[in-house]
Amino acid sequence: MAPLVPKASLLPGMVPDEQHLHLWQQSIAPMLEARPVDPQAAQACLPVMHQYHLGRYLFIDCSFTGQYFSRDAAMMARHDDADHLTLQMYVQGANKVCNGGYCFEQKPGIVYGVNLSQEVRAQSQDSEVLVLVLPRQLVLDEVPILADLRGAAFAPDSVCGDLFRDHMLSLRRLLPHAGVETIPALTDSLLGLLDALMAKGDASASAAQGAMFSAVCRFIDQHLDDPELSPDSICTRFRCSRATLYRLFKPQGGVREHIQRRRLMACFKSITTPKHLHRRIFDIALDYGFVSPSHFSHLFRHHFGMTPSEARDMRHGGSCPLPDLSMPSGCSAAEDAERMWHWSKSLTASAALRTAE
């Protein structure tokens, strides 16, 4: 019999109850930090999660009591290889989300984008949710209109929205019994469906506007070391007015603030990259237009919650440390939780490799 699609699960009874919630929190830690709204209720009704690895993306089927979810700037820096786009559909329950300055409420039966390249603050009810985790490079290659999606993926009460909801429910039903040989077909069907539905123009206004926003963001990221990068140079490049540009970046606090945040993130990555450990921190800051050591240090600490030196010490020697699962070796629940942790962090590398091919 052919092997099944790779799967990792966390189910009540696999470990003592007091350890189960900790494992679940660690399994999703590269993407989101989670803590229960009511710790007693969380212990009485433990999270359930099944995660499937489909090569280029993940599918998650989970349920949990009310949770606070977050992804702040420091977490984004620690787990910059998990800046995925997630397409989420609540089967039961609801979730109030602020994602990169845009706030919305996730309601049952509707597909929403929660974008992990932006900060996240959320509070859920007791919920049952299906999640597609799409690495950023896959989205940029296949469905770039979704690159900045935050909020509803489709227009309200649309046929396209209903079709995609049914596709997610079908994945939930089929994946427990699907063999690995079906992965290419499952991937092609997902990407083909998304591309077709977006091409029909039934995407929400936020998704359509996101196409230009994503193009501008890519331009900014490609020119962070250019001293001439400014709102005026961006308007010239994209032939748009300053008013249009400012409206586009209003949810991010303004285009200048967005450029500063991206330059800080570029500094973080360069400071903590092993090949740059020999360089002085402020020499790296100069590359990105920061001219005052004290001002740069203040901005960096305010944004990431640590000094540049602390960031370098934290990441010295390479990648982010493994999660502390605090379980004896051979524990299947701990192994599955660690597998989920690795899967969410390795998607970016898999997508980059596929692009290079």
Could you give all domains of the chain from N- to C-terminal order, each with its CATH number?
7-203+321-356 (2.60.120.10), 223-314 (1.10.10.60)
The amino acid at 269: K
Q: Of 278, 313, 283, nearest to 78 (Cα)?
A: 313
Tens digits of pLDDT across the chain (357 residues): 678 999 999 998 888 888 899 999 999 999 999 999 999 998 889 999 999 999 899 999 999 999 999 999 889 988 888 999 999 999 999 999 999 888 999 999 999 999 999 999 999 999 999 999 999 889 888 888 888 889 999 888 888 999 999 999 999 999 999 999 999 999 999 999 998 887 665 444 444 456 677 788 889 989 999 989 999 999 999 888 888 888 888 877 789 988 998 899 889 888 888 888 889 999 999 999 999 999 999 998 888 777 898 888 765 544 455 455 444 444 578 888 888 998 998 886 554 444 334
Q: Residue 69: phi, psi to the nearest 5?
A: -110, 145
Q: How far apart are CA 338 and CA 150, in angstroms?
A: 28
Q: Of 331, 334, 335, 288, nearest to 308 (Cα)?
A: 288
- Tokens at 323, concatenated: 């999660």
> Please, how many CA atoms are within 13 Å of residue 260, restricted to the half-sphere of its CB?
16
3-state secondary structure of 197: helix
Give the single-character DSSP code of 119.
-
Look-up: residue for tokens 């237009």?
289
Q: What share of the chain is helix, strand, coil (3-state, %, to 5)?
A: 50, 20, 30
Q: How far apart are CA 25 and CA 60, in angstroms?
A: 14
Contact between residue 207 and residue 149 where contact means Cβ atoms under 8 Å apart: yes
Look-up: residue for tokens 């690995």?
180
Q: How far apart are CA 198 and CA 206, in angstroms?
A: 12
- Tokens at 173, concatenated: 């039903």
Beta-carbon contacts of residue 275 (< 8 Å; ≥ 6 apart): none
Q: How far apart are CA 73 and CA 15, in angstroms?
A: 33
Beta-carbon contacts of residue 217 (< 8 Å; ≥ 6 apart): 147, 148, 258, 262
Query: Could you tell me the sign of the dihedral formed by the alpha carbons of 220, 223, 224, 230, in that order?
Result: negative
**Reported pTM:** 0.75
Look-up: residue for tokens 């919630």?
21
> Please, how many CA atoms are within 13 Å of residue 151, restricted to the half-sphere of its CB?
17
Beta bridge partners of 62: 49, 129
Give CA separation, 311 vs 71, 261, 304, 345, in Å.
17, 16, 9, 19
Q: How far apart are CA 42 and CA 31, in angstroms?
A: 20
